[in-house]
Amino acid sequence: MAGMSKKTLSAMIVVAAALLGRVALAAEPPAEPPPADDAALADRLAERLKEPIAQPVKAPTASASAVRGEAARRPRDAASKPATAKPALPDPAHWAYAGPGGPEHWAELAPAFKACGVGTRQSPVDIHDTVKVDQDALKFDYKPGGFAVLDDGHTVLAIIAPGSFLTVLGRRYQLVEIRFHKPSEQRIEGRRYDMEAQLVHKDAEGHLAIVAVMLQRRLDDAGAPVLATVLGNLPLERGTALAAADPLDPATLLPAQPGYFALMGSLTTPPCSEDVLWLVMRQAMPVSGAELDVFGHLYPMNARPLQAGSGRLIKESR
């Protein structure tokens, strides 16, 4: 990233995050305006940090004195029944993959999450009964570039500097971030993979296209360079971001075989917004045991359960 040192870019990212109350100000802002591509990465990261950061949540419990007081106020015939505290739903920011904030409760946590419960084209799904057609080729125009790593309390993701694009079905999308899930959220003919990388793209009008790449451990234990690089730049604290010194090449996540499945679905996390174009690569990519262990230490399971297919069309490349 010409024109800017690691120290300068890191300072700029930290400043942007600090203004949003996420991290403490750790360095003075750069004296000179940063190059356009680095400034764009800082803007993208600052926008991402506006979203709530999930922290571990414990279900509320009543104190012993409160339970005794409640028992005293009950009718005599009910006093012998055990007193229980009604658990409160967690804050919407604390949706989770299990417990009171788990997937079965997402729609209850906030009005904005309603689609999680009533949507008709929700993701992920088991991909089967496809229609094989001559699909448009996915035209990837990825280039190595700057990135920052964020642990948002639900996954580890890479915020990608502007400059990498996908063109499909007449639309041009820009790569925004790469998210990881363990195990895979999508299934192909009932098969679930060790992990899944989701490359999230957005076009000028705000439409989303997500390229999903299955990650599977192989006998030779080959690794995933992108995941290894992301984990190598993992920030020490949840909710903080670390700008990497070296560029990331998203193209190394893409399989050699271009075949893919196409379907309409939703975000797999709240608010579960629909009208998302899913492009699921047919060929899986490798992930090493070490990478699985590191990610699994942070997130043993962060995959939404399968959703109803609802009779939607799934196209598959010939």
**SS3 of 317, please?**
strand
Peptide linkage before 82 cis (omega within 30 of 0): no
Domains and CATH numbers, the chain: 6-48 (no CATH), 121-317 (3.10.200.10)
Q: Which two tokens mark 254?
A: 């893409």
Strand pairing class (274-281; 285-286): unpaired
DSSP 238: T
pTM given for the model: 0.77
Give the closest residue to 302 by CA, choosing from 97, 107, 55: 97
Q: What is the mean pLDDT of the chain?
A: 82
What does the alpha-carbon distance between residue 123 and residue 128 come to, in Å, rounded to a whole number? 14
Q: How confident is the model at residue 53 (pLDDT cuts 50, 70, 90)?
A: low
pLDDT at 160: 97
What does the alpha-carbon distance between residue 228 and residue 286 come to, in Å, rounded to a whole number? 12
| More confident: 259 or 51 | 259
Q: How confident is the model at residue 92 (pLDDT cuts 50, 70, 90)?
A: low
- Summarised one tens digit per residue, pLDDT across range 243-300 is 999 999 999 999 999 999 999 999 999 999 999 999 999 999 999 999 999 999 999 9
Write down the H helix ranges in 167-316: 225-232, 289-298
- Summarised one tens digit per residue, pLDDT across range 145-183 is 999 999 999 999 999 999 999 999 999 999 999 999 999
| More confident: 218 or 69 | 218
Beta carbons within 8 Å of 306's beta carbon, 6+ residues apart? 124, 125, 126, 187
Torsion sign, CA atoms 112, 114, 116, 121: negative
